[in-house]
Amino acid sequence: MQTDFDLTIEAGKSSRQYWKDLWRYRELFYFLAWRDVLVRYKQTVIGFAWALIRPLLTMLVFTLVFGHLAKLPSENSPYPILVFAALLPWQFFANAFTEAGNSLISDASLISKVYFPRLIVPTSAVIVSFVDFLISGIILAGLMIWYGFYPSWRICTLPLFILMAFAVAMGAGLWISALNVKYRDFRYIIPFMVQLGLYISPVGFSSSIVPDAWRLLYSVNPMVGVIDGFRWAILGGNSQLYWPGLLLSLGLVISILVSGIYFFRSTERRFADLI
């Protein structure tokens, strides 16, 4: 019988086959993400409305605390929109990071009983968070209409920053998911990192309040570049792009993604034995 599938299994030699398999199992990305979305809202009363309510409430709190109580500058745009333009990528990153981090553990039965490229599992978790991101995007559009705030040409560059957010979420997600399989301590580290990240990223405030001398250092956090990019693209007008910081963030994002894939691939073959 002639067959297209000719495979040699040997210790440490799976890479050539791997990318072919990833393509062959491409529909699994969709199916796992579909499962997670379906399951998440299955036994809830208001279902998909949760995807809208969570970011909306966060936005309200941030606007109140930072805009009205702390009276931080809003770069001449409505504070809710300033907050939401940052909340959008941040929530996406935080969800993707958390979900991806736990994805391999919660799919342990799959991993120990059936073969498919493991890269699909955390990637699907990131895709699910991306769906939430798109839903939140609708809120932003609604807010902008409400305030009569119209974006400039810069909105066309938004896909580039979305791509950047996706890359950093993906890279960090791969790192944390692989580490979590080996060291379950990361279960406890993940929520802590997310919480801390919210405060060191310019979500509730504009990064223009960071002193100029510290700005480059501040951009070591790759989410700074992503969030500033989002604000620049969405708010238009007065918000300025800090180029050295953005480039530094971009470089870091790419290195996180590449090293994440590399690390994941090198630990992946032992997942079934460890999990």
Site residues (vs other proteins, CB under 8 A) = 1, 3, 5-12, 14, 24-25, 27-28, 30-32, 34-35, 38-39, 42-43, 109-116, 181-186, 269-270, 272-275
Q: Which is nearer to other proteins, 39 or 46 (CB)?
A: 39
Whole-number minimum distance, CB 24 to other proteins, in Å? 7
Cβ atoms 62, 204 nearer than 8 A? yes
Whole-number minimum distance, CB 233 to other proteins, in Å? 35
Sign of the Cα pseudo-torsion (191, 169, 101, 28, in order): positive
∠ CA 254-256-259 to the nearest 5 degrees?
A: 105
Q: Residue 48: what residue type?
A: F
Q: Which is nearer to other proteins, 13 or 68 (CB)?
A: 13
Q: Which is nearer to other proteins, 30 or 147 (CB)?
A: 30
Cβ atoms 207, 218 nearer than 8 A? yes
Whole-number minimum distance, CB 191 to other proteins, in Å? 16
Q: Which is nearer to other proteins, 48 or 149 (CB)?
A: 48
Whole-number minimum distance, CB 271 to other proteins, in Å? 9
Q: Which is nearer to other proteins, 198 or 275 (CB)?
A: 275
**Nearest one of 113, 114, 115, 103 to 178, comparing CA atoms:** 103
How many CB atoms are located within 10 Å of the residue 160 CB? 12
Element (H, E) at 216: helix 212-218
Whole-number minimum distance, CB 234 to other proteins, in Å? 36
> What is the total residue count of the chain?
275
- Phi then psi for residue 205, to 5 deg, are -140, 170
- Phi then psi for residue 219, to 5 deg, are -75, 0
Cβ atoms 171, 259 nearer than 8 A? yes
Between CA 176 and CA 98 the distance in angstroms is 9
Between CA 36 and CA 30 the distance in angstroms is 10
Whole-number minimum distance, CB 272 to other proteins, in Å? 4
Q: Which is nearer to other proteins, 115 or 147 (CB)?
A: 115
Whole-number minimum distance, CB 211 to other proteins, in Å? 36
Between CA 89 and CA 87 the distance in angstroms is 6
Q: Which is nearer to other proteins, 76 or 106 (CB)?
A: 106
Q: Which is nearer to other proteins, 146 or 183 (CB)?
A: 183
Query: Helix, strand, or coil here: 203?
Result: coil
